[in-house]
Amino acid sequence: MYVTGANLLANPDFSANAASFCSQTFCILSDASAIAPWTFTNGPAFELDSPAVWAPYSGGWSMDLCANVAYTIQQQVTLDVGKPYELDVEISENPCGPSTKTGFISATGSAPQSFTHDSSDPTWKRITYHFVATAAQTTISIGGTNTGSCGPVVGYAKLVGGKAPSSASPLVSSISLIVLALGLLF
């Protein structure tokens, strides 16, 4: 099921603040203000790549999730508990390092989903992650799991959903009961 709607994530291609912090083609930074409201964990720094490094997914900046050590980017969003959501993440890779890049996507209270990207096809690939919100304040996480530098690259993230799965309307349910009752009479 593909869920449509407005993106619930802010700064989905990391370009809102990037140029103010990085005037080179790429930068290793430790100030999360460069990617706000995203934050990062599991590393001392993160790598922010300008559109000049490789063809970006959406024309914006991208992030290599292994700036000498694997790290995770996160954004906290307010969601409706019990409602389904879909997170689409555009993944490519830094061409140096191992030929297969690995990482994960997760949301608070839901099992993480692993992903891989192989250098034999260096195009952007959409990784889709479905989950049901278990907390109003949900943390969306996208992380690399490679060792060393040159990991998976995130170009764009989109979170949509929040609508309950549709159920049959009361009219359809009533008609079904009438038909069933008539069938029992004859």
**132-145 residue pLDDT tens:** 999 999 999 999 99
pTM above 0.75, yes or no: yes
Q: What residues contact 111, with CB distance under 8 A and at least 6 apart? A: none
Domain ranges of the chain: 18-185
The angle subtended at Cα 148 by Cα 145 and Cα 149, nearest 5°, is: 95
Return phi, psi of residue 31, to 5°.
-95, 105
How does residue 3 score in pLDDT terms, banded at 50, 70 and 90? Answer: low
Q: Ranked by mean pLDDT, which of 16-20, 139-143, 171-175 comes out on top?
A: 139-143
Choose which CATH entry (2.60.40.10, 2.60.120.260, 1.20.58.100, 3.30.70.3270) describes domain 18-185.
2.60.120.260
